[in-house]
Amino acid sequence: MTDLLSPMLLPETSWVRRSAHRLWLAAEGRRLLRFAMASRMEGGFGALGRDGTLPEGALPDGILTARMVHAFSMAALQGIPGCLPLVRHGVKALLGPLHDKDHGGWYESPAAREGRKQAYLHAFVALAGSSATLLGVEGGEKLLSLATEILETHYWSEDEGVMRESFAFDWSDEEDYRGANANMHSTESCLALADITGDEKWLDRAHRIVHRFVHEIAGNHDYCMPEHFNREWTLLKDYNQDKTTDPLRPYGMTPGHFAEWAHLTLKVEAALLRREGTAPGWMLHDARALLDSALRFGWAPDGEPGMIYTIDWDHKPVVTVRAHWVQAETVTAAVNLLKRTGSPAYETSYRKVWDYIASTLIDHEFGGWRNEVDAQGRYSGEVYPDKADLYHAFQATVAPILPLSPCLTLALRESDIV
């Protein structure tokens, strides 16, 4: 039930040790799954409206489809009926209308056949391929092979130790940009690829990405994570200053990403410990410092509960809506640091964020979670107008009672989490 690398560190009084809490997590996970099933549509999965239905004119979304394959794979590995067919549907879409058969890679939607190909999307396709492969779904191995080839051929920069950002649809015109967000999700994908394929180079790449972004970049900015750079690694402080509510590349810094990097750093540390019996000492220190910065600058800066979306270079609030994914990643970082250290402070944070999610984000009328709310807990569409997708929220219900390594899907196959 507890982390295999630190089974004695979880306090006896922790919620995670309580059967009622574990049952609540499981029940909330099932509720999220039932809600998300309505996002299935011809050609993949689409974004649900606030009432839990597909809006008129909805299109399959490549990122969402890849995330759904991963999430429903986790559920299928838990033995939840009805999820395996959804994984098959998503894999078929990723090998079909969402796949660029002429140039390789994937579209953000079938209508975006001449848009840019983002590392962010392709990281999730690789994650989906690894999850479907572990589950044994037809087409999973093919999807995994295609995705890893694209990462190798176009995105991985061996000299820099990071993923390149984006290209034109035909792989020309590399973008003059290096971004933290795409590399963060690539870290998650690399960890899964290492576990599912057995190829250790992916763990080494996850290690290199974390070293650059966490230990070097965040470490030189008081463990706050700058997001935007050019290809020469010049920090672009004014990037998207006129697009503060951009959903992927907002101006300033994103405390939710500090938290997400924190638990990814712990996962890389755990994977290295499993492989080598040792890991760099800075990893635990940096993970703790990142979550500390996330909570110090992101939690309730306006006096109201919840983690806000973005801050400026003086650590002052910019966009104060409370996005669901920020809360989910913060609760995951808190519980992983709790398992890793046993510190009661992380138990306090874990409970505080779950209390906020339960009282403010869970939508008891229509289902799922509200994608974002304002400081007073009212629906907001400033950054994310649709309903929250399954990926962040569902992982938050399974991560607390799984080990930090191996990846979530493999850990689910090896254990019974209830």
Would 1 be classed as within a structural domain? no
**373 is written with which tokens?**
């709310």
Question: Is the pTM value of this prediction over 0.95?
Answer: yes
Whole-number pLDDT of residue 9: 82
Cis peptide before 255 (omega within 30 of 0): no
Cβ distance 325 to 256 under 8 Å?
yes
Per DSSP, the three-state class of 19 is helix
Would 79 be classed as within a structural domain? yes
Would 4 be classed as within a structural domain? no
Count structural domains, the chain: 1
Would 391 be classed as within a structural domain? yes
- Note if 103 is an active site residue: no
Would 8 be classed as within a structural domain? no
Would 6 be classed as within a structural domain? no
Of 122, 257, 263, 324, catalytic:
257
Q: What is the enclosing helix (H) or strand (E) of 186?
A: helix 180-197
pLDDT averages per 10-residue partition of the chain, 418 residues: 57 94 98 98 97 96 98 97 98 97 94 88 98 98 98 98 97 98 98 98 98 98 98 98 98 98 98 96 98 98 98 98 98 97 97 98 97 97 94 98 96 80
pLDDT in tens, 237-279: 999 999 999 999 999 999 999 999 999 999 999 999 999 999 9
Would 226 be classed as within a structural domain? yes
Kindly compute the dihedral angle of the four CA atoms of residues 247, 251, 255, 257, in this order, to the nearest 10 degrees. Answer: 50
Q: What is the enclosing helix (H) or strand (E) of 183?
A: helix 180-197
**Burial bucket for residue 221 (CB in 10 Å: 0-12, 13-18, 19+):** middle
Alpha carbon of 61 to those of 57, 92, 145, 214, 367: distances in Å? Answer: 12, 14, 21, 30, 21
Whole-number pLDDT of residue 418: 54
Would 309 be classed as within a structural domain? yes
- Look up the CATH number of the domain holding residue 358: 1.50.10.10
- Note if 154 is an active site residue: no
Whole-number pLDDT of residue 3: 53
Cβ distance 350 to 331 under 8 Å?
yes
Domain enclosing residue 175, as ranges: 15-414
